[in-house]
Amino acid sequence: MTSPTPLSRWRRLQAETDAVHRALDARIMAGAPFRDAGRYGRFLRMQLGFFRDIDALYGDGALGAVVPDLAERRRLALAEQDVRDLNIALPAAEAPVFAGAIDPPTALGWLYVAEGADLGSPFLLKETAKIGFDDSFGARHMRGHPEGRGKHWHRFTDALDAATLTPEEDARVTAGAFAAFARVTALFEAAGLADET
């Protein structure tokens, strides 16, 4: 009798965060963020807040050693341009989550959430198209990688799986992913998307 093959790090993260991920997705879609440009603007502010929180990660040397193409995955500038496309004033910046010393394992959990969201963007782009926005205007931050989202995602998960981490550091990766989902939930609520549905 053979033992089951242990899950890779990213598959384990996926399994452990599945319930909270599904709950967040359901809440966001229940908020009808693509019903009209006004509600989409609220969604953009939510996205912008998250990208501001994690922007410092993309320039971190220790993380760049784990994920070699990390810098090119940064999407804050695209989200800022999307906000301008909608003629919305950029919200005042709050102190980002990662404003000081960065703990790489925790940050990897946050990046897992960010990269996973990018993988699901094609569905969202179909919805934005119905209200006149696409990946060249208003939804630039959802633009796919030229090589394809799947390949881009697997380069990230391969790097995540290859990282040498202790069990305690692995636990911080998981905690980071849960913290990222909680932060997006808080940003969703602050954007007012749960109102007037």
Specify if 71 maps to a domain.
yes
Q: Is the model's pTM score more than 0.85?
A: yes
**Reported confidence tier of residue 127, pLDDT bands at 50, 70, 90:** very high
Residue 4's pLDDT is what?
52
Q: Is 193 left (phi over 0), alpha (psi -120 to 50) or beta?
A: alpha
The answer to whether residue 1 sits within a structural domain is: no
In this structure, what DSSP letter does residue 93 have? P
- What is residue 196's predicted lDDT score, i.e. its pLDDT? 57
Comparison of pLDDT for 40 and 91, the residue scoring more: 40
Q: Cα–Cα distance between 79 and 133 in angstroms, integer?
A: 13
The pLDDT of 113-139, averaged and rounded, is: 95
Q: Does residue 87 carry a pLDDT above 90?
A: yes
Q: In the predicted model, is pLDDT for residue 147 greater than 70?
A: yes
**75 is in which domain, residue-wise?**
9-190
Is residue 158 assigned to a domain? Answer: yes
Residue 94 has pLDDT above 90, yes or no: no
Is 65 within a domain?
yes
Let me know if residue 69 belongs to a domain. yes
Is residue 139 one of the residues assigned to a domain? yes
Separation of alpha carbons 114 and 75, rounded Å: 10
**Position 74 in a domain:** yes
Residue 177, Cβ density class (10 Å: 0-12 exposed, 13-18 middle, ≥19 buried): buried
pLDDT of residue 5: 57
Query: Does 28 reside within a domain?
Result: yes
Q: What's the CATH number where 117 sits?
A: 1.20.910.10
| In the predicted structure, residue 37 carries a pLDDT above the cut 60 | yes
How many domains does the structure of the chain reveal? 1
User: What is the C-alpha separation between 182 and 197, in angstroms, rounded?
Assistant: 22
Place of tokens 């919200």: 91
Q: Is the pLDDT of residue 70 over 60?
A: yes
- Check if the beta carbon of residue 191 is closer than 8 Å to that of residue 41: no
pLDDT per residue as tens digits for the range 9-25: 999 999 999 999 999 99
Map 4-57 to HEC letters: CCCCCHHHHHHHHHHHHHHHHHHHHHHCCCCCCHHHHHHHHHHHHHHHHHHHHH
Please, which pLDDT band fits residue 116 given cuts at 50, 70 and 90?
A: very high
Percent of the chain predicted with pLDDT > 70: 96
| Count of C-beta atoms within a 10 Å radius of residue 148 | 10
pLDDT band at 178, cuts 50/70/90? Answer: very high
Query: Rounded to whole angstroms, how far apart are CA atoms 133 and 122?
Result: 13
